[in-house]
Amino acid sequence: MTEELFKDDVEKALVALQSGGIILYPTDTIWGIGCDATNYAAIEKINQLKQRSQQKSFVVLVTDQKDILYYTASPDLSVFDFLQTTTKPTTVIYDHALGLAENVCNNDGSVAIRICNDAFCRHLIKRFRKPIVSTSANISGKSSPKNFTFIEAEIKKNVDYVVNYRQNDLAENEPSSLIRWVNCKPEVIRP
């Protein structure tokens, strides 16, 4: 994909996000459905599309440690040292979410956040200047898509924008690891 097409994809995804829409996009793991993580109504659109329980929380993507400090209260900073040692993308559940839509968080006020290293996601999030929701691009209860070709037509046709970047990438990807940071060490929820 040329740099111009990459920029065009970012611009079109930004328009969708800024208008409260939902996008289908590649992440540093699997393809995801995303929206503004501070927009309650946009998150509800994702729940409806995925036929998902409103009781389930979401993963939020950010680009930097400082974003985690902004959107959570008093995280244990030693988690950042641990994240430097991981080779697989790792989502961390942080207590005390701040400034995010209520329906993006767990009932206990915690939130799952991943510092994303994918070039497209990083560029989009930095331009958007807010965190973005990331949930697997599937109907709730069905298998997560390993690449774009696994995504059901129902998902593709019911989002506001489908990103072109990496649609031809046939690598079979997996979801991130999921941990909760407890007493200065990881409690693994999903390896």
Percent residues over pLDDT 70 in the chain: 99
For position 1, what pLDDT does the model report? 56
- SS3 for 21? coil
> What CA–CA distance (Å, rounded) separates 38 from 62?
13
How many separate domains does the chain show? 1
Q: Domain of 92: which CATH number?
A: 3.90.870.10
DSSP state, residue 37: T
> What CA–CA distance (Å, rounded) separates 121 from 62?
9
Residue pLDDT, tens place only, 53-92: 877 889 999 999 999 999 999 899 999 999 999 999 999 9
Mean pLDDT to the nearest integer, 162-183: 94
Buried b (16+ CB within 10 A) or exposed e, 1-33: eeeeebeebbebbbebbeeebbbbbbbbbbbbb
Model pTM score:
0.96
Residue 42 and residue 58 in contact, taking contact as beta carbons nearer than 8 Å: no
Residue pLDDT, tens place only, 127-162: 999 999 999 999 999 999 999 999 999 999 999 999
